[in-house]
């Protein structure tokens, strides 16, 4: 394929994924809020059913998406296997904390509100970093 078109396709796809992450952040800001108090109040008031309605699809789909995204890291020459493993563990840890902190907050463990906030922001930044890395590699050539 012509490299310019390939670059355009990579750019369009990256924009799409960034748009999706951006929508997630905006939604979080509008529905929950970015302060520890907001997070604590929002999840503290939610029923278990309400929490599962959000956690279940996220856990199911994001785990598949993470598998698809992270396996591309193995194709990047400049990153060794150890770093890929560490990055994978780090991203999955943030993902689990992000998804399961709300359940613990609703059980009265308000401390997890701080963790939820950090995990959410950290997860978004980590994913963005991985996508940017993959995008950069697509432009410079995969192994």
Partner 1 sequence: MKFIASKKLSDNSVMRSIIIGMLLSLIFAMMLSMTAKGIDYGVSPMQWNAAVLGNEAEFIDPMSFNDLLLGIHADLFGLIITFVLIASVYARMGRSRVIAISFLTLSLLSLLVYPIGMLFSPLLGSTGVSLSLSAFILFHSLMIVGGLDALIGLLRKKF
Our CA dihedral for 18, 21, 23, 25, rounded to 10 degrees, sits at -130
Our CA dihedral for 91, 93, 99, 103, rounded to 10 degrees, sits at -170
Q: Contact 91/126 with Cβ under 8 angstroms?
A: yes
Around Cβ 74, how many Cβ atoms within 10 Å? Answer: 12
Comparison of 109 and 138: residue with beta carbon closer to partner 1: 138
Comparison of 29 and 78: residue with beta carbon closer to partner 1: 29
Residue 64, interface with partner 1 (CB under 8 A)?
yes
Residue 5, interface with partner 1 (CB under 8 A)?
yes
Total residues in contact with partner 1, by rule CB under 8 A = 24
Binding mask 67-106 for partner 1 (x = CB under 8 A): -x--x-----------------------------------
Residue 20, interface with partner 1 (CB under 8 A)?
yes
């Amino acid at each position: 394929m012509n490299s310019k078109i390939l670059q355009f396709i990579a750019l369009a796809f990256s924009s799409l994924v960034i748009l999706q992450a951006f929508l997630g952040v905006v939604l979080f800001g509008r529905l929950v809020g970015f302060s520890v108090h907001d997070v604590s109040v929002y999840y503290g008031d939610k029923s278990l059913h309400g929490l599962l309605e959000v956690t279940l699809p996220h856990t199911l789909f994001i785990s598949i998406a993470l598998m698809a995204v992270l396996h591309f890291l193995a194709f990047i020459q400049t990153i060794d296997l150890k770093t890929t493993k560490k990055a994978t563990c780090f991203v999955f840890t943030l993902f689990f904390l992000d998804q399961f902190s709300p359940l613990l907050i609703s059980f009265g463990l308000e401390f997890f509100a701080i963790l939820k906030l950090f995990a959410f922001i950290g997860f978004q930044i980590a994913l963005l970093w991985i996508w940017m890395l993959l995008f950069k590699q697509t432009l410079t050539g995969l192994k």
